[in-house]
Structure 1
């Protein structure tokens, strides 16, 4: 938990914006992969990896929020 506390909020937010939004046009990968997940077409390993990679900063953000609320 100490490692999570050492990561700055600014760094996490920048990661969310950059990795969560990349590529910015025509649509972010995260939006595309979440749509594929909802439609049931997220089956290729590269697509699953993309979802995990672009979604990881948001999981980190949720972990930091949960940590700050429970402290």
Structure 2
């Protein structure tokens, strides 16, 4: 897994993370919708939790890649 992450350029991860955070573009991005549901205590269905994690996954991979790149010489 880490070798795969090392081979992925930051630029691709950044573009993919932005795209997934904003998708779908109309009427409201899923991440915003799911975070509002979480704030209101309405995020109960497994499909909604999976959807939130699915849309946040590229951002988490980007954060992991950045964190690992900081600790290596």
TM-score normalised per structure 2: 0.87
**How do 1:1-71 and structure 2 match up within 5 A?**
1-71=2-72
Displacement after TM superposition at 1:40 (Å): 1.2
Superposed structure 1 runs of 4+ greater than 4 Å apart: none
Any unmatched runs of 5+ in structure 1?
none
How many residues of Structure 1 are paired with residues of Structure 2 in the alignment? 71
| Deviation string, structure 1 residues 16-55 (Cα, Å, up to 9, x no partner) | 1111110112221011111111221100111111101101
Provide the TM-score with structure 1 as the length reference: 0.89
| Structure 2: 5+ residue stretches without partners | none
Aligned-residue RMSD, C-alpha: 1.1
